[in-house]
Chains A and B, each alone.
Chain A
Amino acid sequence: MSTAEGALSVPRTGARARGEDYLTRERGFLSWALTLDHKRIGVLYLFSILAAFLLGGVLALLVRTELLTPRETIVGPDTYNKLFTLHGAVMIFLFIIPGIPAALGNFALPLMLGAKDVAFPRLNLFSYWLYVLGALFEVAAIVTGGVDTGWTFYTPYSTTTNTSVVATTLGAFILGFSSIFTGLNFIVTIHKLRPQGMTWFRMPLFLWGLYGTAVIQVLATPVLGITLLLLIVERLLGVGIFDPALGGDPVLFQHFFWFYSHPAVYIMILPAMGVISELVPTFSRKRIFGYRFIAYSSIAIAVLGFLVWGHHMFTSGQSGMASMVFSALTFSVAIPSAIKVFNWLATMYKGSIRLDTPMLYALSFILLFAIGGLTGLHLGTLATDVHLHDTYFVVAHFHYTMMGGNVMALLGGLHFWWPKMFGRMYSERWGRIAATIVFLGFNVTFLSQFLLGSLGMPRRYYNYADEFQPLHATSTYGSYLMAVGFAIAAGALIHSLFRGRPAPANPWGANSLEWHTPSPPPWDNFPETPAVEDPYDYSQLVYEPSVGGYVKKTAPAGAGS
């Protein structure tokens, strides 16, 4: 599988020749803006989503600060409504949905698969620029006065409010297509670009996670597209599809919206679970337990996730029959999730566990996702959801699943692949400190919100009853602590770019294919065609202090050390 481009002579052995890896082979703005290389596109995505995370985080801190007191603290009610709407929209559409798949996935998928690129590099670049275009629309919406509908855009409020709904939804529409193209690309890549020997069940589990995610992206996102389109024409032309005054049905919008947005939560969690399935065995130095169950459960979650959207509408006036069916199906999704949690634990059993930064995030993930998921049971249960719906209990639930789930996995994966991406090691010490602070701050912030919610505090409230203040204040201080944690993590990573120790090819002793190529990888990914091996067999890898990483026990430093 050698390359036609003779000019590209990749280093045959160990020594990383400067200027020949994917980061340095070409220089200049255009070489990035028009790159077709999946690794570079992944990096572009990475910085974009981190910027979005920062923006969403700042908005969150403003929200929390406003909630420090029961009445006006820093902003008025209309501004507050815009703040949480933008926080939700930025976090969901700009950060978490593209998050792991587009950033880490784009970087790692072809490498882990042993391919040279994704199937459609140009489409990949196109979807990145679609992302940027969508983001610009969102920014335009913020600049032109913001939106105040909540990230759910429920009609008829969203069709009657006088804020920038059209710009926001158009942005989300475009972002949706960006997401569809990424998913399409991944499906085709996994189907058609697996090299000889890479069978389905030899794929690292992260790829299974990405595959399940891609299926949802491709099948659910178009419905979001048409929903947002309907909302836009409703606003611009007054079509009346969702307007009861014109014979329309506002609740239909909710069905459409959740038909996408529930599967979307599994777009967020599946790749996260995939990342965890890489981290846990690597840092336990033990084969993943129950590979097939984990692989199948990804697909099960992807499929079942399509059938439960109505659990967001138990109080909306949908028929009792529908509510019953949706509730029952909701619980079915809990089972594949349970399988994964237990398999990760079983993987640790009798391992040799190192608490490096990625592993700390992985353990945080397991605990926090378990809390988030288990409180999903309260919400999926009809009788209790009637009380809990649209209270802070839901807010806490979804921050535990999204932030405690997806974001922990994203950070874990980021620290895991960072050396591969940029060829630098970050400060392990500061990485661990940051992970610990984030974990603590997170729990202080959101545990208190479970209590607020079950005590009856509705969400999206600007003013609230005085008795809730202690819990709200606790939550706010927790969010500040968490922000400090993130700032430290960001500091440690940025510092490493300039001062970090050069990374070895395999700093963690993982065995999937991306670790068989130098860090950072060459333009064409692999100096030599990698031999596909069992990705979870760590027995042949030993730590070699002279390179500061792991090498094959017997073979001479083969595929780049």
Chain B
Amino acid sequence: MSRAASDPRARPARLQHHFESLEQQSESGKLGMWIFLATEILLFGGLFCAYAVYRANHPEVFVYAHRYLDKVLGGVNTVVLLTSSLTMAWAVRCAQLGKARGMSALLALTLLGGLGFMGIKFVEYEAKWKHGLLWGKRFQPALHEEARSGQDPGPPAADREPQRSSRSPDPGVERSTVPPSARGPRGTVPAEVARQRAAYARRDEPPRNVQVFFGIYFLMTGLHALHVLAGMGAIGWVLVRGLRGAFGPAYYLPVDLVGLYWHLVDLIWIFLFPLLYLVH
């Protein structure tokens, strides 16, 4: 935190009035960005916790449902995003060295990477949408059956199995020995559960609550996609400024900060991909 006594006449144009030196200004900017990244991680942290809780509660759902995600597309997307991170880092380096044209080109490439990622994401989402593999209320596996076989699938799997009273407690938990007033005599539930378990073992019927997986999937990847969009916006902004010649070796803080942000977005995807696409 050195504070060179600044000569008022020599204040660089980019130095804001309340800072003493460009160094102090850029240090502040970076610290601010790091803190902001921490808040972003915590924002996703909430979703990662939700993921952990539901995966612990419904492991079979995660194993079953992740097969419906397209590993190839996901993998390609990972590569695309990683590459764009590389070009971003390179762009920052160029900025640092004052290579304005190289920087602009690399920023444009990064932007392209982001665009590619969103395009592939769109393809994936659209397929899920068509197949009814959506969250909670929108989950319609029947559509999936239809789309897959192209012929009348008969009563869809999830409907064939009568759902228990929607609010009835999870059969897994320890429960009363008293028949609940509104839930039928002792015996109904265990039989049903046993049947369910057997069915699941044969793998011809999906486990219950598959929609939980797709809920989590859409929440996590959706929020991430929003961040990609925001990052693309920011890259576009520094790209325009860069083309106007705003940056040089002495001042390229915005490029640096946007770069940090983009790496974070990338990093989050690195976690999302295995957690959602590669479940065991």
Contacts and interface: CB of A to CB of B under 8 A. Distances in A.
A115 B167 contact: no
B148 interface: no
B47 A246 contact: no
Interface in A205-264: 218-223, 225-227, 229-230, 233-234, 237-241, 243-249, 252, 256
A184 interface: yes
Interface stretch (B108-116, B178-186, B206-214, B245-253): B206-214
B136 A238 contact: yes
B146 interface: no
Contact of A222 (B32, B46, B209, B212): B46
Interface in B247-265: none
B138 to A, nearest CB: 7
Contact of A219 (B6, B38, B57): B38
A252 B212 CA distance: 14
B57 A120 contact: no
Contact of A4 (B11, B24, B57, B136): B11
A233 B211 CA distance: 15
B198 interface: no
B145 interface: no
Contact of A221 (B39, B166, B215): B39
B50 interface: yes
A120 B3 CA distance: 18
Interface string A106-126: 000010000111111101000
B137 interface: yes
A218 B39 contact: yes
Interface string B56-96: 01100100000000000000000000000000000000000
B40 A222 contact: yes
Given A184-B36, A223-B45, A240 B135 contact: yes
A222 B39 contact: yes
Contact of B53 (A188, A229, A234, A252): A252
Given A180-B39, A193-B28, A240-B136, A226 B212 contact: no
Interface string A157-197: 00000000000000000000000100011011001111110
A546 interface: no
Contacts of B43: 222-223, 225-226
Contacts of B218: 239
Contacts of A120: 28, 32
Which of A180, A188, A227 gathers the greatest number of chain B CB atoms within 10 Å? Answer: A188
Interface residues of B, number: 50
B162 interface: no
A465 interface: no
A246 B42 contact: no
B1 interface: yes
A2 interface: yes
Given A221-B39, A238-B137, A249 B47 contact: no
Given A238-B135, A239-B219, A192 B17 contact: no
A247 B219 contact: no
B58 A241 contact: no
B212 A248 contact: yes
Contacts of B39: 180, 184, 218-219, 221-222
Contact of B209 (A4, A117, A247): A247
Which of A116, A244, A246 gathers the greatest number of chain B CB atoms within 10 Å? Answer: A246
Contact of A184 (B18, B32, B216): B32
Contact of A241 (B27, B42, B44, B219): B219
Given A184-B39, A192-B24, A237-B135, A116 B215 contact: no
27 contacts: A4-B11, A110-B18, A117-B17, A119-B18, A120-B32, A121-B16, A187-B31, A188-B28, A188-B32, A191-B31, A192-B27, A219-B38, A221-B39, A222-B39, A222-B42, A223-B42, A226-B47, A226-B223, A227-B46, A237-B137, A240-B137, A243-B136, A244-B169, A245-B167, A246-B209, A248-B215, A524-B17
Given A119-B18, A223-B43, A248-B215, 8 more contacts: A117-B17, A191-B28, A226-B45, A226-B46, A241-B54, A241-B215, A241-B216, A246-B136
Question: What 3 A-B pairs are tightest by C-beta distance, nearest first?
Answer: A240-B136, A247-B209, A238-B137
